[in-house]
Amino acid sequence: MTAQNPQRPPAAPTARPTGTSEKTPYTTPARQQVFILVLRALMEAGIVAGLAWWGYRAGAGTGLKILLAVGAPALGFGFWGVVDFHQAGRLAKPLRLLQELAISALAAVAVYATGQHFLGWALGLLSVAYHALVYLQGGQLLKHRPSPGARTRPAPGAPVAPAWPEPGRAGQGEPASATGGDAS
């Protein structure tokens, strides 16, 4: 049997506030997210630069060179931004992945076609590495957004709005009276 010191109360366990840790602010998941964002930025910058470089090299005159250098990235990212796969249901994520890989591959081939073989391969590998890391970490390319007109369910335990009677009963679209009888 152990005796406690009567002059000293037992020490209470120290509780750490919820959500804090002893680690530095840049924990491993945060560093991975930063790394993935840097890869994404490099990939997108490479796509823009690659398509612009191809457009400049493919044009014959100065005006056409400038038009293609501006137009090729605009078309690539225009296609990327205009198409909304949220309406595709289960196919939304695979379609978005195919779209991003196709645009990346197009830019890599365009860079390769200008004679910059190493940079073309590097852009293609960067795109594959980025997408592989996103999916290996359980990430996704599309942010969840309910489709227009979709009915959302209330959270468990949330109050539910009172049911409205069918038109023609208890008035036109008015709630039934508490007594359940006709008001007439």
Q: What is the pTM assigned to this prediction?
A: 0.59
pLDDT of residue 170: 53
Nearest-5° angle of CA 63, CA 68, CA 72? 160
From residue 152, alpha-carbon distances to 45, 145, 161 in Å are 37, 11, 14
Confidence (pLDDT) at 56: 92
pLDDT for residue 153: 57
| Residue 10 pLDDT > 80 | no
CA separation for the pair 59, 57 (Å, rounded): 6
Q: Any residues with CB less than 8 A from the CB of 164 and at least 6 apart, and which?
A: 173, 175
User: Distance between CA atoms of 126 and 67, rounded to whole angstroms?
Assistant: 27
Cβ atoms within 10 A of the Cβ of 32, count? 13
Helix/strand/coil for 136: helix
184 C-beta neighbours (distance < 10 Å), count: 4
pLDDT band at 184; cut points 50, 70, 90 = very low
Q: What is the pLDDT of residue 151?
A: 52
- Please determine, for residue 81, whether its predicted confidence score (pLDDT) is greater than 60: yes
84 vs 1, residue with greater confidence = 84
Residue-wise pLDDT for 83-139, tens only, equals: 777 777 888 888 888 888 999 999 999 999 999 999 999 999 999 999 888 888 877
Q: Which amino acid is at 67?
A: L
Per residue in 127-167, pLDDT (tens digit) is 999 988 888 887 766 565 555 555 555 556 666 655 555 55
Q: For 17-66, what is each residue's pLDDT tens digit?
A: 555 555 555 555 778 888 888 999 999 999 999 999 999 998 888 899 99
